[in-house]
Every structure is written in C-alpha cells, then in structure tokens.
Amino acid sequence: MSGKKRIILAIAVVLILAAAIIWGICGKNQNPTDVSNTTAEPTAELTTAPTAELTEDQTAELTEAPTVEPTEAPTEAPTEAPTEAPAETPTKGSLVQTEGIIIPVIDDLKKFEIPDTEAMALLRDMKCGWNLGNTFDAYNGYTDYFSGTGMETSWVGVRTSRKLIATIKEAGFNTIRIPVSWHNHVDENNLIDREWIHRVREVAGWALDEGMYVIVNVHHDNDKKFLYPDTAHYDRSAAYLTAVWAQIAEEFKDCDEHLIIESMNEPRLVGTQYEWNWNSGVSECRLAAKYINQLNQLFVDTVRASGGNNATRYLAVPAYCASPGSTVDQAFQLPQDTVENRIIVSAHAYTPYNFALNIQSSDRTFDLGKDQKKKEEIASFMNKLYNRFIKYGVPVMMDEFGALDKGGNLQDRVNFTAYYVASASTRGITCVWWDNHAFSGNGERFGLIKRSTAEWVYPDIVLAMMENCLYNREAETAEAPAA
C-alpha cells in the first residue's frame, strides 16, 4: 500500500473513532435511568422548597436531625408546625363524648358586667378546676400522729401520679385544688412531718409545671383539738393554724402566683345543730363568724410575713362552712391586707341540694327546658355573690361543686354542669369540681376519672365544663398575671 493510501486509511479510522465517542457521550446524557437525574430534584426540594414554609425552629430541627433519605424528607418537613390552642379556648384532650349524650352549650344567659381588674383576669385564666379529693385530705381520727406519706392512699388506694396531673391538664382544666389535712402529721410542737409536706409540694409542683393554678389548703382539721371557732377553743385554733400556715408558707414561698393558699375548709361548729345550717339570728353562729374572720386575718398576716412571693400571693378565705348564705352575710368580713385586691372569696354550693348532694332524695333530673325552679335556685345565690363581691372587683371562686351520680342520670348531670358553670362564668366566678374518686356504693359518687389508669369515667361532664366555663369572659381585656 502506497504512503498516500496509508494516510487516507488512518484519517478514516480516526474519524470513525471520534464519531463513536461523540455518539456514546450524547447517548449517555439521554439515558433516563441514570441515578444522577433522580437525586438532583429531591435535593432541590429539600434545600429550597420546604424551608420557605418552615418556621425557624422547624428548619433547625430538619437540619440537625439524623440523616434521612432525601426522598422521605419532603413528605414530612413541609407540614406546618402545630400551634397551641389560645388560652381562652378550652381543649378536649383525650376526652371522648359518650354516644347519645348531648353536651349543652349555654348561650342565653344574661351577661353581667365583670370588672376589668387583674384579680378578675386571674379568675378567668383559672378557667375551671378539679379537686384531688379524698387523697391528701384523708385522715384517721384526731388523736394519732402518722409519719410518712401512707395517708395519701388510705381512702382511695391510689398514689397520685404525674400522668394523672398531665391528663387533667390535657382535658382543658387550668386549676387543681389539693385539699390537705395536716393534723395527723403535726407533732406536739405543731411541727409538720417533713415527708408529708414534701410530698404535697411534689404533687403541687407537677401541676405548676403544667402551667396550672394550684390551690393548697387546711382541710379536715375541724376539731376542738385543732380548729374550732368558739370562745373556748379560739386560742388553741389560732396557735395551731398560725404554726401550720407559717410552715406551709415557707415551703411554697418560691412558687409563683399560680400557687394559691386557702386558709381553711368549711370552718364550722362541728357536732352542733348549726354545723351545716348558718343562722345569722343565732348568737353561736355570729360568734363563730367573728372567730373565723379573726383566723382569716391571722392567716393573711402569717403568709405575708413569710416573704418571698408570699408577700403578694393571691390568698383565698371562706366564711362559715363556706356556704353562700354565710358568705354574703355581713357577719363575714374580708381580712385587711398589705396588697390591694389579692384576696379571693372561696365558697361551696352543691345546689340544688336534693338533686346535687342529697343521697336520700329521689330527685335525679335536671331538664334545661323544664326545671326552671332549679335554675332559679342556682341563679339566686350566684346573684347574691355577684352583688356583694364581684361587682366591686372582689374575686369569687366556687372551689367545690358537683352533682353526685344517682345511677343512670348522666345526661341530667351533664345538663346541670353546663348550666351551673355557665351561670357562674357569666358573673365572673370560676368553678372547681369536687372529685372524691367514688364510683360505686351508696355514698357520694362524685368521681370523674379513674386515677390508677388516668382514664375518664365521665368525660361528658368534663366536656360540659369546657364548653361553658368562659361564658361572657372571652372578651375581658385585663391581662392575667404573667407566668
């Protein structure tokens, strides 16, 4: 082959090889199965599209979390973060409405003028509450001393759990009252057993951690050896309660104003014909009211003197047996205080009595359309509380109320609860249900939740409270105290 032919052949080979290379490159770039094209688009979505919708916290969470396959991230990240419900909107948590039970929403009551004050705003922020009854208020007579915390379970058989407190909060409650009987845990020098008071503080702390208001009191100490409002026993009552209040105040002085201390529970002349029957025309009752006023004053002075947050803490005081009748009587006087408008009036009313509390009564109905007399009975005592206190800016809470189970009358109890709570709320009053963890037997069955499992037995009653506890209070302008 001549030299010229060799040159032509070499050029042809080079051209063929070049064409093959060019075809291969172009063909590869058109291959739809190449992995480089499947990763490019998700990566773009991960780094640009989601972050446009995510909050700062979400973006940090997305970038700092363990590595995730790129194709999974876009399905999780773009969702908007859940927001907490506004404080004025009652939440229902895990409550499940019972089939066939109607939850009334009361919307036809008169709307009373509620003073625009910090104290009234605090009552509004408390919304509605629940009593941890028959627990720390359990006692064993009035003579024996018990160390440790065993008394907590002696009546209900269940030790209070943090899960229970969280469940109460989840249901929408913003207040827990912790009734405490101290006399079985006080020695001859009036010193409280440290284990007992620390356990009370622990449970109260769980509720405070949930952002709830907590009421701690002196409960079943109504006995001549400890608290009895008559002349013969006043000095002993004053010494005992001053000593106990001083220790309680010291234990809780660093808690913020979500902690409320209540002086006494239903102080009364135990064992007399007037124990549950206030009569302003009887000298014994008037004298008892005088001593209760003095004990309430000692309570305020003792707590304020302890310093810390107790210097300005909201304090609660009852009248004789905490009944509305004695509370609105002029014999009951609010204690003097070193700070303005920090005294809350506490009262109890299981009204109408035959329906709500009287076990022997056959009255088991509360029909919103027919039982006008029962509704008027509720409105009557609440009007008196409003006219004496609330219209002048003095806060009032019904820190015990309820309607016992009479077997098969759940709808009536729900109706009652809705009307009672709405009637209180429209006047600026906050209500706290009495739960004694009783569900069976012939006693006062006020239980709502099974404490061992934190499961609601009567969720419909709770729902009725949540739906009506802010009636006429949604538009208040005063700000509640900061947490």
Options 152, 262, 400, 476, the catalytic residue? 400
Strands 455-456 and 449-450: antiparallel
Q: For residue 116, count CB atoms less than 10 angstroms from its CB and return exposed for 0-12, middle for 13-18, buried for 19 or more.
A: exposed
Q: Indicate if 198 belongs to the active site.
A: no
Rg (CA), the chain: 33
Closest CA to 115 of 430, 389, 380, 431: 389
Options 152, 251, 262, 266, the catalytic residue? 266
Q: Indicate if 266 belongs to the active site.
A: yes
Options 185, 219, 258, 437, the catalytic residue? 219
Cα separation, 443 vs 441, in Å, equals 6
Q: Encoding tokens for residue 404?
A: 């016992």
Q: Indicate if 233 belongs to the active site.
A: no
Q: Encoding tokens for residue 13?
A: 């080979």
Closest CA to 181 of 224, 235, 227: 227
Residues taking part in catalysis: 219, 266, 400
